[in-house]
Amino acid sequence: MNITIENILLIGSILLFVSILAGKTSYRFGVPTLVLFLAVGILSGSEGIAGIYFNDPKLAQFIGIVSLNFILFSGGLDTSWKTIKPVMWQGISLSTLGVLFTAVSLGVFVWYITDFSIYEGLLLGAIVSSTDAAAVFSILRSKNLALKTNLRPTLELESGSNDPMAYFLTIAFLGLVVNQDQSIYSIIPLFLQQILIGVALGFLFGKLSKIIINKITLDFEGLYPVLAIALMFIVFSATDALGGNGFLAVYLSGVYLGNHNIIHKKTIMRMFDGLAWLMQIVLFLTLGLLVYPSHIVPVIGVGILISFFLIFIARPLGVFLSLSFFKMKMRRRWYVSWVGLRGAVPIVFATYPLLAGIEKADMIFNIVFFVSLTSVLIQGTTLSVVAKWLNVALPMRAKQKSPVDIFMAEGAKSVLREIDIPEHNHSVGKRIVQLEFPRKAIIAMISRNEEFLTPNGNTEIEAHDMLVVLTEDRETMRQVYESLDLEPEMAELE
């Protein structure tokens, strides 16, 4: 079946519907949801049941880049600075040095066991060097797996921030394969340029995005997520055009916005959470359609060797070397190395050699697909078992909520106060988003002129307003009074 304008919506909606139903039941059989999405794509492809012909690596790459923008930006919005601050340097080391050591060790192994040149081996190693944010977020959250001593924020920070390093290494080694007269040292200036510009523009665009979202008054709440989407793509494309790493900039701008007060923040976060899931499904379906199962069979033998080397040697080596500067118990290092899930991102990166037209591009793509599939099947299905075996899992009663759960669960707030705003208070005339309220506090409603208003971030405070404020604890309520420059009655906070 050929995809045409007339049937693309029908085919796409049916595939989405089948994928969602498959994902709903997948964990009953211990199969990660993302594998089901991929399987639906394969079964619908040229050699599958539906026989949909799709052989366009360029379109698949475009869909992959768009999807990664949504996934990384959503992951950044969900990242709590307070949570990741204690593990920031561990996460950065894993997402840079860890990726580099993994790529180099695997690349040398591929060069040793195949007829690949050293640069081709390093290219394959770079493509599969990063853990997949979509796979890690999806599996950790769907399994509701609670881990000890900051393990979960470390894993989520690493998986959300290491794609830029893998992307850089892929582009750099691909350039060395195409232009073999270049020295490997030529990639060092490119690395510094990509990372430094990406970091600087990520935070700069994050700050500008916050100002734009809070300053522009839109008539409809639903337009704010649309504005955020536009800003997200501006961050990526502008950073890429200026020679920086667009993926890194998108993630960092998301982290910045997620940890600052913006108008309709809850609406934006919910919208991006849904869009990230949609993009994951679309991405895996597209890559499934692109794969020819008959082309995978010839590489199964070498694929198994590469997969096992990656899982049991290259990934642990990268983790242990990159974490050698930090204090961490051995069993926790082993668990970090086990959560080295490969997913859709390596398959997207594997389209770059296809479009560059290098000699072994098809073989690289098929090996990468096999490695990603086996990684999710082997590691993704055993995360809970290995966590218990290594004694890094928390008991069910001690499970903690993710930052998103805490942010969304208004029912968890237990301290309520009615706060009168005096006529000359500094908050009068300011919008709620400008009050610098603590993150754990919300204004549930405002009593004004004997009427009750349901406020949002754009609501202006007026003199003699009575704010009904909810917080999770008394200390946060003290911070609320401080932000309003008011003195609470001490009895209220005892």
* pLDDT of amino acid 120: 94
Please state the rounded mean pLDDT for residues 259-264.
86
Assess if residue 3 is contained within a domain. Answer: no
Asked whether residue 388 falls in the same domain as residue 422, the answer is no
Which residue, 190, 188, 176, 158, is CA-closest to 122? 176
Tell the burial category of 393 from Cβ atoms under 10 Å away from its Cβ (0-12, 13-18, 19+): buried
**DSSP secondary structure letters along 381-396:** TTHHHHHHHTT-BPPG
Total number of domains in the chain: 2
* pLDDT of amino acid 230: 95
- Token pair of 119 as six digits: 């640069």
List CB contacts of 383: < 8 A, sequence separation 6 or more. Answer: 139, 140, 143, 145, 338, 339
User: Domain ends where: 363, 398, 433?
Assistant: 398
Asked whether residue 20 falls in the same domain as residue 110, the answer is yes
| Amino acid (1-letter code) at residue 351 | T
Give the confidence band of 403 by pLDDT, cuts at 50, 70, 90.
very low
**pLDDT tens, residue by residue, 421-464:** 888 888 888 888 777 777 778 888 888 887 888 887 778 888 88
In Å, how far are 78, 182, 285 from 348, measured between CA atoms? 23, 25, 12
The answer, yes or no, to whether residue 93 has pLDDT greater than 90, is yes
Find the angle CA(196)-CA(75)-CA(242) to the nearest 5 degrees: 30
Give the confidence band of 412 by pLDDT, cuts at 50, 70, 90.
very low
Asked whether residue 392 falls in the same domain as residue 419, the answer is no
Instruction: Report residue 210: phi and psi, to 5°.
Output: -60, -45
- Token pair of 312 as six digits: 């049991």
Is there a contact between 259 and 253 (Cβ–Cβ < 8 Å)? Answer: no
Q: What percent of the chain has pLDDT over 90?
A: 32
**pLDDT tens, residue by residue, 133-179:** 666 666 665 555 667 667 878 887 888 788 889 999 999 999 999 88
Q: CA–CA separation, 121 vs 111, rounded Å?
A: 5
Give the confidence band of 128 by pLDDT, cuts at 50, 70, 90.
very high
SS3 439: coil
Q: CA–CA separation, 442 vs 240, rounded Å?
A: 37
Is there a contact between 457 and 425 (Cβ–Cβ < 8 Å)? Answer: no
Domain assignment of residue 381, given as a range: 8-398
pTM of the predicted model as reported, rounded to 2 decimal places: 0.77
CATH number of 262's domain: 1.20.1530.20
Asked whether residue 34 falls in the same domain as residue 56, the answer is yes
CATH number of 484's domain: 3.30.70.1450
Higher-confidence position of 103 and 215: 103
Asked whether residue 131 falls in the same domain as residue 178, the answer is yes
